[in-house]
Amino acid sequence: MELKELVLKNLILKVRCGSHLYGTNTSESDEDFAGIFVPNAAYLIGLKDIKSKEVDLSKIKKDEHGKNTKDAIDFKVYFLEKFIRLALKNNPNILELLFVDEKNIVFINDVGKALLDIRYEFLSKHIKGRFLEYAKSQKDKMVIKLDNYDKLNKAYDYICENEGRFRFLLELMEASPNILFVRKKDYARIGNINFPITITLKRAKAMICNRLDRYGSRQELISKYGYDTKFASNLIRILLAGGELLMSGDLKFPLKSRELILDIRYGKYSMAEVVSLANRIEKGIEKYDYIYKVPDEPNEELIEKFLITIHRKYILEEQWT
């Protein structure tokens, strides 16, 4: 049996996630789904192995700019054991799937219901570290990617201005020093690209264009708002969700903060304002740990018993069918 066929046969849960779950979707939003499945005996106790943590069943539809259209469907399905391991580590994107509201549950069977019934057993004070770590990553990406984007655009313009005078990047760098070009031993760095020192300006320009194209819709956001507002909205969403989990021991969808998140997404806040807000939320999470409504550690013993029970069930049922 093909893996994708097995995934659909042994699916225990499929939920709508992303903006539709958060309540921040618009008429242009594509749909994102996540699922969980239990493999068969060949994967559970045999020689077969699922290399990654997920199986991608997405249907990609992009416009001429490489951006997903509203008809695109993102669908990633997790092997139950790997999902549980990630949830025990309080991975933000995984943990939220356990708290999906009924409206966004597309498919669920008895095993899926049993998993959602023990959702609170996964929570622990480790949420604090994991959510703050993830938020820091989003913040860094927002700032660093903007810096790299700016440098690449300036470097592109600078190369265009000097293309008629020089053929090679090294010639340009030696004749007309520019702080955008960082010289190393045998290569030059511009933004987040390393160029061979002997590269032609024509090739260097093509490489910069290719890298800028990878920004896709992010390029449009940066041009329009001056920074990547999608990173910014994800940053605030993650921090607020982490704070809600820690302070209430629960997470409700659609998000109470959805209007704020949409305002950030549509550039109503500057990057400086978003960073300032993020810093205030982070300080609150750091300060109020004495009132957290979650235990110090997840209930790993109960969760392991659940996983073993489910694996036994699927192995035994397969033997008899």
Q: What digits encode the pLDDT tens for the residues 63-78?
A: 444 555 556 789 999 9
Same domain, yes or no: 157 and 273: yes
Q: 14 by DSSP, 3-state: which?
A: strand
Q: What value does the mean pLDDT of the chain take?
A: 88
Average pLDDT over residues 180-205: 86
Same domain, yes or no: 201 and 232: yes
Same domain, yes or no: 182 and 88: no
| Inter-axis angle of helices 126-162 and 229-248, nearest 10 | 170
By percentage, how much of the chain surpasses pLDDT 90? Answer: 53
The reported pLDDT for the residue numbered 61 is 57
- Written as one string, the DSSP assignment of 149-173 is HHHHHHHHHHHHHHTTT-SBHHHHH
Number of domains in the chain: 2
* CATH number of the CATH domain containing 23: 3.30.460.10
What are the tokens at 165? 């005078």
Same domain, yes or no: 118 and 153: no
Q: What digits encode the pLDDT tens for the residues 259-286?
A: 999 999 999 999 899 999 999 999 999 8
Q: 26 by DSSP, 3-state: which?
A: coil
Same domain, yes or no: 50 and 149: no
Q: Name which of 161, 179, 181 is nearest 169 in CA terms.
A: 181
Domain that holds residue 116: 3-123+296-320
Same domain, yes or no: 64 and 144: no
Same domain, yes or no: 80 and 229: no
- Written as one string, the DSSP assignment of 239-304 is HHHHHHHHHHS---SS-TTHHHHHHHHTTSS-HHHHHHHHHHHHHHHHHTGGG--S-SS--HHHHH
The answer to whether 10 touches 40, Cβ cutoff 8 Å, is yes
